[in-house]
């Protein structure tokens, strides 16, 4: 039977032999991490290309259109063509920009979200680094995106960019609160911050957290959509009001980095949702266990991503004040109440850590 | 190898901290401050305190620096780098900084604080395979240390959270528009 653990063992065994062949066995620890990073980058790049295609197909389906269908079978290679076009474009930039932040911002925007992929468990033991504080790590490292967006908005020396940057930062900072708070009940029940540990708890308990914590799941998805600046929460970009938001003045590869970062943010939040609420690599029923865990995991991630995409093409964009009201007056009270109720239940059941 | 890592981290921290106080463009100062804070969290990681490192990034990069950047963006123009680096309180501030450094040196030198949580640094280096599990469960021990009644910090912990809450409410009251 194929499992993530066996694949990891096979690949790492193979890598050891390659290192020995090249006489680099002494640096195996570092080289392993380099290989992990490269593989993860390749995976993310290809997966995001697929997601862009999927997004266009989903939107086309919801609007009774066909969507991309010219390049490759079913239009699958359309995104590849777009990506090549984007990377070979001339890099146009404003003369009066603030050079250093302007250069750093797109890199930071991508790297900050990409770093989150490090702790995502694809299968049992199939994870780059199974940190003890996995959840906290993802929350911490992705907070760099705020700085990236503010830098981009500021350094472009353009009032639309600046406004977009402001709105985006305010939005991310506000929605980070319900995002974190909706994960707290699960942490309270399991007593763990480690992703694999949370999945193992769900395996032993025999249920996924989406059932007892459905409220938390809904608030998590809503705040994750807002965190990723996606419609209906895409005010920072709001094409009709701000031309392009904080990345108005970016083109070519730099624009592609922002674009990639945004999709990676969606992937990371969906992976967190799939792991914490949908049982990660666990099959829905034990008799389906013959299908390898990482396929189940990817299926769940795609399901959550589909949900987020369906949101985008269903709901109209919120106004700035509605957005802030929704975050502070609806989501945060619900999550806090949920934490209180869960705390009582955990106390009564006496299974607190 | 690990020694070199520490010196690289220390170099980044010191260099970016110097940038914070010498660069004339305030926005660049704020970015350098973020780098300093990130470097400090790197030192925590180097010592094996994962939880502290994550909290450091979350609070100082994700919240404090962002707040400072907000302040700068609301009060300054983009190409405006006419901030004064020095003022007439140089001597006084040097004195204060020196005093703080002295106190920190004395306190840290006399405490029995366990600097490192890293198995390779505390005990004889164990097998690298047991890397992840060899860490003490830092979060649980921190929680027990803070909240177990017999340790005597529970009251202070609750008191600090009430203080923070009142500061939050106070900020809202101050910032609220006068109804008249």
> Residue A166: its pLDDT value, please?
83
| Residue A71 CB burial class (10 angstroms; 0-12, 13-18, ≥19) | middle
Higher pLDDT, B18 or A351: B18
Whether the predicted pLDDT of A352 surpasses 60: no
Whether the predicted pLDDT of B116 surpasses 70: no
Question: Which helix or strand (DSSP H or E) is residue A42 part of?
Answer: helix A28-62
Question: A331 to chain B nearest CA, in Å?
Answer: 19
Report d(CA A169, CA A150) in Å as an integer. 7
Rounded average pLDDT over B115-144? 55
Report d(CA A184, CA A191) in Å as an integer. 10
Closest residue in chain B to residue A174, using alpha carbons only: B63
Per the CB < 8 A criterion, the answer to whether A145 and A27 are in contact is: no
> Residue B160: its pLDDT value, please?
92
Q: Does B128 touch chain A (CB under 8 A)?
A: yes
Using 50, 70 and 90 to split pLDDT, how confident is the model at B147? confident
Subunit contact A151:B135, Cβ cutoff 8 A:
no
On average, the pLDDT of chain B sits at 80
> Residue B40: its pLDDT value, please?
93
> Residue B132: its pLDDT value, please?
43
Subunit contact B79:A96, Cβ cutoff 8 A:
yes
Question: pLDDT tens digits for A16-27?
Answer: 888 888 888 788
Subunit contact B51:A144, Cβ cutoff 8 A:
no
Q: What pTM, to 2 d.p., does this model score?
A: 0.86
Contacting residues of B for A101, CB less than 8 Å apart: 27-28, 31
Per the CB < 8 A criterion, the answer to whether A175 and A227 are in contact is: yes
Per the CB < 8 A criterion, the answer to whether A202 and A279 are in contact is: yes
Q: Return the number of other C-beta atoms located less than 10 Å from residue B175's C-beta.
A: 7
| Residue A212 CB burial class (10 angstroms; 0-12, 13-18, ≥19) | middle
Q: Does B85 touch chain A (CB under 8 A)?
A: no
Question: pLDDT tens digits for B74-108?
Answer: 887 666 666 677 778 889 999 999 999 999 988 88
Contacting residues of A for B55, CB less than 8 Å apart: 136, 140
Q: Does B28 touch chain A (CB under 8 A)?
A: yes
> Residue B133: its pLDDT value, please?
43
> Residue B136: its pLDDT value, please?
52
Whether the predicted pLDDT of A4 surpasses 90: no
Of A40-49, A106-115, A163-172, which range is least confident? A163-172
> Residue B118: its pLDDT value, please?
59
Q: Does B134 touch chain A (CB under 8 A)?
A: no
Whether the predicted pLDDT of A113 surpasses 80: yes
CB nearest B66 (choices: A141, A157, A169): A169
Higher pLDDT, B137 or A111: A111
> Residue B34: its pLDDT value, please?
92
Q: Which residues lie across from A123 on neighbouring strands?
A: A126
Question: Which helix or strand (DSSP H or E) is residue A296 part of?
Answer: helix A293-314
> Residue A126: its pLDDT value, please?
83
Q: Does A37 touch chain B (CB under 8 A)?
A: no
Q: What is the token pair recorded at B2?
A: 């690990």
Contacting residues of B for A176, CB less than 8 Å apart: 62
Report d(CA A32, CA A12) in Å as an integer. 8
Per the CB < 8 A criterion, the answer to whether A195 and A127 are in contact is: yes
CB nearest A166 (choices: B25, B54, B73): B73
Phi-psi domain of B48 (left: phi exceeds 0; alpha: psi -120 through 50; beta: other): left
> Residue A324: its pLDDT value, please?
84
Report d(CA A115, CA A139) in Å as an integer. 11
Using 50, 70 and 90 to split pLDDT, how confident is the model at A73? confident
Using 50, 70 and 90 to split pLDDT, how confident is the model at A227? confident
Per the CB < 8 A criterion, the answer to whether B27 and A98 are in contact is: yes
Subunit contact A147:B31, Cβ cutoff 8 A:
yes
Vertex B132: Cα angle to B131 and B133 (nearest 5): 100
Whether the predicted pLDDT of A186 surpasses 70: yes
Q: What is the token pair recorded at A252?
A: 């070519």
Q: List the one residue out of A47, A125, A92 whose CA is nearest residue A248.
A: A92
Find how far residue A137's CA is from the centre of its chain: 13
Subunit contact A96:B70, Cβ cutoff 8 A:
no
On average, the pLDDT of chain A sits at 86
Higher pLDDT, A165 or A241: A165
Whether the predicted pLDDT of B130 surpasses 80: no
Query: What is the 3-state composition of chain A as percent helix, strand, coil, each rounded to the nearest 5?
Result: 70, 0, 25
Per the CB < 8 A criterion, the answer to whether A13 and A302 are in contact is: no
Whether the predicted pLDDT of A210 surpasses 70: yes
Using 50, 70 and 90 to split pLDDT, how confident is the model at B125? very low
Rounded average pLDDT over B8-35? 91
Rounded average pLDDT over A29-49? 89
Report d(CA A334, CA B75) in Å as an integer. 35
Please state at what angle helix A252-276 crosses helix A293-314, rounded to 10 degrees: 120
Question: pLDDT tens digits for B57-74?
Answer: 989 988 899 888 888 888
Burial B86-124 (b: 16+ CB within 10 A, else e): eeeeeeeeeeeeeeeeeeeeeeeeeeeeeeebbbeeeee
Contacting residues of B for A140, CB less than 8 Å apart: 54-55, 57-58, 61-62
Of A55-69, A104-118, A275-289, B117-131, which range is least confident? B117-131
Whether the predicted pLDDT of A199 surpasses 80: yes
> Residue A252: its pLDDT value, please?
81
A·B CB contacts under 8 A: 86
Measure Cα distances from A26 to A36, B127, B128 in Å.
Answer: 17, 15, 13
Q: What is the DSSP string of chain B?
A: -HHHHHHHHHHHHHHHHHHHHH-S-HHHHHHHHHHHHHHHHHHHHHTT-HHHHHHHIIIIIIIIIHHHHHHHHHH--TT-----S--TTHHHHHHHHHHHHHHHHHHHHH--------HHHHSS---GGGHHHHS--HHHHHHHHHH-GGGT-HHHHHHHHHHHHHHHHHHHHHHSPP--
Of A99-103, B51-55, B127-131, which range is least confident? B127-131
Using 50, 70 and 90 to split pLDDT, how confident is the model at A304? very high
Contacting residues of B for A353, CB less than 8 Å apart: 140
Report d(CA A95, CA B68) in Å as an integer. 26
Whether the predicted pLDDT of A301 surpasses 60: yes
Q: List the one residue out of A107, A112, A238 whose CA is nearest residue A164.
A: A238
């Amino acid at each position: 039977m194929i499992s993530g653990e066996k694949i990891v063992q096979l690949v790492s065994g193979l890598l050891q032999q390659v290192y020995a062949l090249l006489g680099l066995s002494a640096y195996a620890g570092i080289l392993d991490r380099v290989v992990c990073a490269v593989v993860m980058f390749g995976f993310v790049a290809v997966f995001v290309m697929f997601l862009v295609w999927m997004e266009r197909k989903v939107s086309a389906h919801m609007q009774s259109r066909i969507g991309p269908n010219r390049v490759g079978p079913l239009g699958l290679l359309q995104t590849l063509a777009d990506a090549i076009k984007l990377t070979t474009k001339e890099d146009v930039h404003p003369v009066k920009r603030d050079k250093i932040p302007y250069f750093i911002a797109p890199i930071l925007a991508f790297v900050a979200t990409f770093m989150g992929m490090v702790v995502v468990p694809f299968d049992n033991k199939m994870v780059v680094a199974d940190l003890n504080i996995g959840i906290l790590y993802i929350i911490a490292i992705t907070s760099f995106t705020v700085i990236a967006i503010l830098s981009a908005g500021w350094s472009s020396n353009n009032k639309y960019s600046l406004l977009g940057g402001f709105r985006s930062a305010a939005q991310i900072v506000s929605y980070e609160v319900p995002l974190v708070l909706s994960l707290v009940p699960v942490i309270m029940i399991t007593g763990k911050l480690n992703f694999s540990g949370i999945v193992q708890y769900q395996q032993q308990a025999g249920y996924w957290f989406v059932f007892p914590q459905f409220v938390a799941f809904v608030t998590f998805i809503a705040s994750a959509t807002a965190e990723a600046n996606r419609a209906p929460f895409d005010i920072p970009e709001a094409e009709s009001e701000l031309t392009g938001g904080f990345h108005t003045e970016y083109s070519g590869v730099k624009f592609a980095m922002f674009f990639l970062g945004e999709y990676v943010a969606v992937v990371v939040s969906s992976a967190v949702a799939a792991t914490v609420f949908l049982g990660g690599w666990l099959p829905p029923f034990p008799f389906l266990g013959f299908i390898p865990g990482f396929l189940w995991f990817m299926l769940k991630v795609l399901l959550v991503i589909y949900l987020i995409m369906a949101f985008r093409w269903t709901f109209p964009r919120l106004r700035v004040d509605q957005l802030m009201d929704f975050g502070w007056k609806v989501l945060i009270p619900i999550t806090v109440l949920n934490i209180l109720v869960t705390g009582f239940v955990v106390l009564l059941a006496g299974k607190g850590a | 190898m690990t020694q070199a890592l520490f010196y690289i981290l220390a170099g980044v921290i010191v260099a970016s901290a110097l940038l914070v106080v010498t660069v004339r463009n305030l926005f660049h100062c704020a970015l350098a401050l973020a780098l300093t804070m990130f470097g400090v969290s790197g030192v925590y990681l180097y010592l094996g305190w994962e939880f502290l490192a994550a909290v450091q990034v979350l609070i100082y990069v994700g919240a404090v620096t962002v707040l400072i950047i907000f302040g700068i963006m609301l009060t300054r123009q983009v190409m405006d780098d006419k901030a004064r680096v020095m003022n007439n309180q140089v001597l006084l501030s040097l004195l204060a900084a020196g005093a703080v450094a002295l106190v920190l040196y004395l306190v840290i030198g006399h405490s029995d604080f366990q600097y490192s949580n890293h198995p390779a640094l505390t005990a004889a280096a164990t097998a690298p395979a047991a890397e992840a599990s060899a860490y003490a469960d830092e979060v649980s021990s921190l929680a027990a240390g803070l909240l177990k009644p017999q340790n005597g910090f529970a009251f202070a912990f609750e008191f600090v959270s009430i203080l923070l809450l009142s500061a939050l409410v106070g900020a809202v009251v101050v910032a609220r528009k006068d109804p008249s």
